[in-house]
Structure formats: C-alpha cells, structure tokens
Chains A and B, each alone.
Chain A
Amino acid sequence: MNPLAKTIPLPFFLRHLKIPALLVLGVFLVAVVLIAASIGAVSIPLKDILSGSLTDQQEAVLASIRLPRVLLAVIVGGALAVSGAAMQGLFRNPLADPGLIGIATSAALAVAFVIVLAGPITGYLGLYALSIAAFIGALLACFVIFRFARLTGSFSVTYMLLTGIAINALSAAGVGYLTFLSDDQQLRTLTFWTMGSLGGALWVAVIVVTTIAVPSGLILIRNARELNVLLLGENEARYLGVDAERLKRTIVICTALCVGAAISVSGVIGFVGLVVPHLVRLTLGPDHRLLIPASALLGAALLVVADTAARTIVAPAEMPVGILTSLIGGPFFLWLLIKQYAGRFSL
C-alpha cells in the first residue's frame, strides 16, 4: 500500500465549511490578481485601479501587458492544478501527475521539433507554432494511450501507466536528440521553454487557453462524484452503476486538453499540478466535488504569486517562473512529507 496514504490528519471542522472554503479561495484569488496587476516596472497603485483614475500610459500597460499576463497565470495555474487533481484521482495515487502518462513530455517533444527541425517556419509563425505544436503533442500522447488501451482490450490503469512510462522515455530521448542537433539560438529558445515562463503573454493566448481549459475543467467537476466512486476500484465503481470506461476516457481527454493548452503557452511549469491538489486534500479532504474547484482557485492564485515574483525579483531581467515553482514547490513538498510522515514510513 502507498505509505503516503496511510495517515493524513483530518481537520474535520474544515470539511463542514465547503462553500465558505471556495468563497475564501475566490476572494483570495481576486485580491492576488489585483495586487499582481499593480506591481511591475510601471507602478500602478491599487487604489487607482479600483477607482479607475489611470493615466493613458498606466491604462495601456495594464490593458496590453499586465492584465493578459496575470490572467494567463490564473488560467494556466488553474488548468495545471485541476489536471493534477483529476490525474491523481484517476490513478488512485496521490503522487500522480499529468507528466506521468506522458502528456507533458510529449508536448515538449513536439515543441522541440518545431524549434529545431522546422527552423524557417518558426520565424514565420513565431510563438503560435509552438502553441499548436504543444497542443498536438499532448493530444498525440492521448491518442497513443488510447490505441494501446484498445489493443490490450481494457483501459486498465496499469497499462496506462506503463504506456506513459514508454512515451516519457521516447519523448525524453527525442528531446535529447533534438537538443543535440540544435544550434545556439535554438538551444536557448528550447531551454527557456522547458523551464516554463509566462513572458510574452498576449490576449490571444489568454482567450485560446480559457476557451479550452474552462470547459474541460467544468466537465471534470461534473464528473467529480463518479470520480470519487472510482477510487473504490474499477470493479466496485461498475457495481455501483458508474461506467468506468467512459469516465476514464472523459478524464483523460479533459486532462490532456487542460495540460496541452497550459503547456502550449507557458512551457513546462512543474509542481503546481502535484502540490496544489495535495495541499487542498490535506485541508479540505479528498472529495473531488470540492477538491477540483478548490485546486483550480488555489493553483491560479499560487501561479499568479509565483509569476509576479518571477518578474520582479531580478527586475529588469526576468526569471522563468518554472524555476521558481520548482524551487519553492520541491522543498515545500519535502517539508510536507517529512512533517506528515516522519517515522511512519513502511514500504
């Protein structure tokens, strides 16, 4: 049995506060967004944003630079956290992650492909080529997983995991080879993308990701109750009237859409999908009806904070936010593990 599952403390008083918990998270997110919008190279005081008394320059900065960036952080953070929560439920493993079934690395491979091999086209299509490539990569990974599921005759979680491991290995080899082939300029682009960054956010990106991630997230929330039942086991879920095959298919597709959309505009931003649902589960319990929306709100808020830090700490330069999330997320996760499970390890 998974040692992490054994003993997680249960602050029950929190579980009776389901709606208030979402409200608090929502208010927190709005506050974080407003504060993030006011911070930057051009100072835009919070009270001016709220009262609407902005200079033309402030308004231009807010509308075309600051706001799209903050909103992109909101939607990417939310999408990553939601897909993490859904994957953990699907694999019945609190440590699962969209990276696990190969979606993230396969998206990365597709992007590396465009950057290195398609050279001239990159210059022409610019950033959009990368977005489309990442998205196609993520969907391709899903397609492969589905083909294998059909070949093996069942949508068993074990096969999905094993397929994911194979896709991950192949994609990593592909990215490695492409890195080896690339010239200095390509290498630099590739490196920045794999580190994850929200720099260069445009309204188009915000709109594209929103139109993909929000419907997918809503579908996941709609399936949350059945996802809870699936945690009893696939056969048990079927005995309880849940069409486990259909449910798994829905979750995989929605997760791929969320992850593909997020990765296409931001690169690989780690730990949000892993840490956020874990945090929510520790405080609000594992019920997906609450876990998924709460993860969306918390993931969004945390990525806004991280991105604001990433663009201000070393100003006027900018740090890739992926480095920051891993830098904070990694030790934080270890601290969680040590705090919760010290002395209780038994494999």
Chain B
Amino acid sequence: MITADNISYNIGTKQILTRVSTRFAPGRVSAILGPNGAGKSTLLRCLTGSLTPDTGSVTMDGRELDDYSLADLSRKRAVLSQANPISFPFTALEIVLMGRNPYELDHSAARNTEVAMAALEMMDAWHLSDRSFPTLSGGEQQRVQFARVISQIWEQEGACLFLDEPTSALDLKHQHQLLDLVQSLCQQHGLAVVIVMHDLNLAYHCTDDCYFIKDGRIEGSGESRDMINAERISDIFDLPLKYAGMRFGGQQAAILTEPGLPA
C-alpha cells in the first residue's frame, strides 16, 4: 500500500506537481495516464522515493518514505525505469542477478541464480541468459530489465511495483505476456502495481484503476473501465473526439475489416 498525500513538486518556479493525492492498494494494478510533460514520471519518482516532494508526504504501509533506509525500501518496492543504456558487456543473467542485490547476504548465490533464471523464464527470456546485454534488441533488453525488477521482490508479499512505460519497446505478444504476468503476480503476492503508460487500450483492458494527470494535477481517478472513454481522452489529451475514438476502441477494440478494401 502506498499513499501520496497532497504532494507538490517544483523545479525553480515551475510547478510540476500540484497537490496530488493518490492511493495504490495491494492486489490492484493502477495506471497513470496523461499527455507528455503532465508530471507522470515526476509523480512516479516521488512515489519511489527517488525525489522528495516539496510539500505533502508519501507513505508506504503507514510509514513515511523518508523513514525507510535504502536497504529496507529495496526489499519493499521495485522500479522499472525507462531504458537506461548499459555500456558494459554484462550477460542478461548478470543483469537480472543485480536485482538480487538486496538479498546478497540473505540467500546463497545458488538461490539467487535460481530466482534470476526463473524470472528470465517468466519473461520468455531464458534463452538470452548468456547473451551480452548491450547486444540485445530494445525489446529483449526491456524484458531482461523487467525480469531483474521482479526478481527484486520475488519472495516479498505486499510489495510495490512501479513500471514506467514497461511495454514501450515490446511487440504485441510480449506486451500482453508482460501485463498478464503483472496481473497474476499482483493477485498472487498482493502487490501494489503502478504503471505509467500511453496505450489507452491496454490500460483499459489490463488495469484495475487509473489516474489521469494533466498539468501536474489529478484530473480524474477511478476504476479503469469507468474512467477511460473517448470523451475523457479527448478532454485530457486535447484531441478532437473523432481521433480519440480512432485511437481508443474500448470494449469494441478489435480489428475492423470492411469487405472490398485491399488487404
């Protein structure tokens, strides 16, 4: 469970977040949606403890984030950031093993390797384990990084999982595979999952709750099925309604084919 209470964050005189309150419950997958520069990533960084808000507070399981040590936090929440280039030829397995850093002393090397391999297998990336990470494709790197993140909270019940555009480089099959995995881990281990994403169809189908954020303010929140619709998308993203309908199929999302059109 992670809660942000009235947090604001400024860079210079520019207000990036204005009195934002959110609440992410265990066993729920939540999406943070909004246009570029709305403050999504800043909100995520405040929630993970990477930034400290100027006012307001972020609490995890009832304790202020600042009261946790880095080591304690690393066992309670994992974060998948947007692509971060790695310039050294670590193998995919070595990268995933870094996710086990918080447990280096608790578990044997064999146990940590076992977890890392299991995480890779879940992400359909077991065959990449001996490959050099920098030589992998963007999507393969993203899957390996995700495996690292889930291996970090492998044994933890009720941990928090933050994902910043986790599907941006993935093909369709792996997008669904990742989100299915997120949903089942969320159910099994009571994780509180927060995903920043741009694909509104995926958000509609794969998340429980959503927060719309625009110009640093929460512009609506609730269950994804109720909240995500063409009218709101048109409003939040300053998009004419006809485009909003085009980009978001909602319940009807399906490939429409008209007879007579060239394939």
Contacts and interface: CB of A to CB of B under 8 A. Distances in A.
Nearest to A2: B87
Contact of A243 (B70, B85, B101): B70
Contact of B134 (A5, A89, A242): A5
Contacts of A236: 79, 81, 84
B87 A92 contact: yes
Interface string B79-95: 10100111111110011
Given A10-B132, A233-B81, A240 B98 contact: yes
A8 interface: yes
B252 interface: no
A4 B87 contact: yes
A235 B81 contact: yes
A225 B88 contact: no
A347 to B, nearest CB: 14
A238 interface: yes
B66 interface: no
A235 B135 CA distance: 23
B88 A1 contact: no
Given A231-B88, A232-B95, A233-B84, A241 B134 contact: no
Given A12-B130, A228-B98, A232-B95, A241 B73 contact: yes
A239 B99 CA distance: 9
Contact of A232 (B50, B71, B98, B102): B98
B142 interface: no
Contacts of B88: 5, 89, 92, 94, 231, 281, 286
Interface residues of A, number: 32
B87 A93 contact: yes
A239 B89 contact: no
Nearest to A288: B88
Interface in B167-224: none
Contacts of B132: 7-8, 10
Interface string B50-72: 10000000000000000000110
Contacts of B101: 225-226, 229, 240-242
B114 interface: no
B104 interface: yes
A165 to B, nearest CB: 20
B8 interface: no
Contacts of B30: none
Contacts of A2: 85, 87
B74 interface: yes
B3 interface: no
A189 B78 CA distance: 57
A290 B130 CA distance: 18
Contact of B102 (A241, A281, A287): A241
A232 B84 contact: yes
**Among A6, A229, A232, A281: residue with most chain B CB under 10 A:** A232
B89 A10 contact: yes
A285 interface: yes
Interface in B78-137: 78-79, 81, 84-91, 94-95, 98-99, 101-102, 104, 130-132, 134-135
A311 B158 CA distance: 66
B: contact size bracket:
20 to 34
B84 A6 contact: no
A240 B99 contact: yes
Interface string A198-234: 0000000000000000000000000001101101110
A229 B45 CA distance: 19
B87 A287 contact: no
A239 B77 CA distance: 8
A238 B50 contact: yes
Given A5-B89, A241-B74, A281-B88, A225 B102 contact: no
A281 B131 CA distance: 15
B94 A6 contact: no
Nearest to A225: B104
Nearest to B101: A240
Contact of A1 (B75, B85, B95): B85
Contacts of A226: 101
**Among B48, B81, B101, B102: residue with most chain A CB under 10 A:** B101
A240 B89 contact: no
Nearest to A246: B70
Interface in A81-139: 89, 92-94
A5 B75 CA distance: 31
Contacts of B86: 5, 92, 231-232
Contacts of B130: 10, 12
Contacts of A229: 98, 101
A314 to B, nearest CB: 39
A248 to B, nearest CB: 14
Given A233-B81, A239-B48, A240-B74, A8 B104 contact: no
17 contacts: A2-B85, A5-B134, A6-B134, A6-B135, A8-B134, A92-B86, A226-B101, A232-B86, A232-B95, A232-B98, A233-B81, A233-B84, A235-B81, A238-B70, A240-B101, A240-B152, A281-B89
Interface of A: 1-2, 4-8, 10, 12, 89, 92-94, 225-226, 228-229, 231-233, 235-236, 238-243, 281, 285-287
Given A5-B89, A241-B73, 16 more contacts: A2-B85, A8-B89, A10-B89, A93-B87, A231-B87, A231-B88, A232-B86, A236-B84, A238-B50, A239-B78, A240-B98, A240-B102, A241-B71, A241-B74, A243-B70, A287-B94
- Nearest 6 A/B pairs, CB to CB: A241-B74, A5-B87, A286-B88, A233-B84, A8-B89, A241-B71
